Amino acid sequence: GGSVVVGNGGTISLTGSGGGLYSSTGSGNYGIYLNTATISAGNGGSATNTITLTGIGGAGVGGSNYGIYAAAALTLTLNGSSASDICTFLNCTGGLGGTLNHGINISAVTTLSRATLQFVNVTGGGNGTANNYGLYINNVAVTAPTIISNDILGGPGLNNNYGLYISGASAALGGTGVITLNVFAGSLGTGSTEAGIVIDGGGSVIVGNGGSVTLVGTGGGLYSGTGTGNYGIYLNTATITAGNGNASTNSIILTGIGGTGTGGGHYGVYVAATPKMNLRGTGAADTVTFLNCTGGLGGTLNHGVNVSASLALVRGTLRFTNVSGGGSGTASNYGLFINNVSLSAPIILSSDLLGGPGFNNNYGLYVSGSSAVLGSTSMNKINVIAGSLGNGSNESGIVVDLGGSIVVGNGGTINLVGSGGGLYSSSGFQNYGIYLNQATLASGTGGSTLNTIILTGFGGEGTGGVNHGVATNTSLAVTMNGTNSSDSLTFLNCSGGGGGDSCGANLAASLSLSRGIL
d(CA 36, CA 38): 7
pTM (two decimals)? 0.98
Exposed / middle / buried, residue 500 (Cβ in 10 Å: 0-12, 13-18, 19+): exposed
Per-residue confidence (pLDDT) for residue 329, from 0 to 100: 87
Residue 397 has pLDDT above 90, yes or no: yes
Tell me what the mean pLDDT of segment 33-47 comes to: 96
Query: Measured between alpha carbons, how far is residue 115 from residues 244, 439, 513 in Å?
Result: 20, 52, 60
Query: Is residue 328 very low, low, confident or very high in pLDDT (cuts 50, 70, 90)?
Result: confident
Residue 128 has pLDDT above 90, yes or no: no
How confident is the model over 51-80, as pLDDT tens digits? 999 999 999 999 999 999 999 989 999 999
Cβ atoms of residues 237 and 205 within 8 Å: no
Per-residue confidence (pLDDT) for residue 489, from 0 to 100: 98
Tell me what the mean pLDDT of segment 44-53 comes to: 97
Cβ atoms of residues 305 and 269 within 8 Å: yes
Per-residue confidence (pLDDT) for residue 191, from 0 to 100: 98
Exposed / middle / buried, residue 245 (Cβ in 10 Å: 0-12, 13-18, 19+): exposed
d(CA 37, CA 50): 17
**Bridge partners, residue 355, by sequence:** 388
Query: Is residue 360 very low, low, confident or very high in pLDDT (cuts 50, 70, 90)?
Result: very high
Q: Which helix (H) or strand (E) holds 50?
A: strand 50-56
- The residue with greater pLDDT, 126 or 116, is 116
d(CA 108, CA 36): 9
What long-range pairs does 224-227 form, CB within 8 A, spacing at least 24?
224/262, 225/190, 225/191, 225/260, 225/261, 225/262, 226/192, 226/261, 226/262, 226/263, 227/190, 227/191, 227/192, 227/194, 227/259, 227/260, 227/261, 227/262, 227/263, 227/298
CA 135 vs. chain centroid, Å, equals: 18
d(CA 198, CA 177): 23
Tell me what the mean pLDDT of segment 442-449 comes to: 96
Tell me what the mean pLDDT of segment 17-30 comes to: 96
Cβ atoms of residues 508 and 471 within 8 Å: yes
Cβ atoms of residues 371 and 393 within 8 Å: no
Angle at the Cα of 517 from the Cα atoms of 515 and 518, rounded to 5 degrees: 110
- Classify strands 68-78 and 110-112 as parallel, antiparallel or unpaired: parallel
Question: How many C-beta atoms lie closer than 10 Å to residue 47's C-beta?
Answer: 15
- Classify strands 365-368 and 32-41 as parallel, antiparallel or unpaired: unpaired
Query: Is residue 422 very low, low, confident or very high in pLDDT (cuts 50, 70, 90)?
Result: very high
How confident is the model over 204-218, as pLDDT tens digits? 999 999 999 999 999
CA 35 vs. chain centroid, Å, equals: 34
Query: Is residue 1 very low, low, confident or very high in pLDDT (cuts 50, 70, 90)?
Result: confident
First to last CA, the chain: 75
Question: How many C-beta atoms lie closer than 10 Å to residue 421's C-beta?
Answer: 32
Residue 245 has pLDDT above 90, yes or no: yes
Per-residue confidence (pLDDT) for residue 127, from 0 to 100: 84
SS3 24: coil
**Mean pLDDT of all residues belonging to the chain:** 97
Cβ atoms of residues 362 and 398 within 8 Å: no
Q: b/e for 388-404, b at 16 or more Cβ within 10 A?
A: bbbbbbbbbbbbbbebb
**Bridge partners, residue 491, by sequence:** 455
Best CA proximity match to 234, nearest among 260, 209, 257: 257
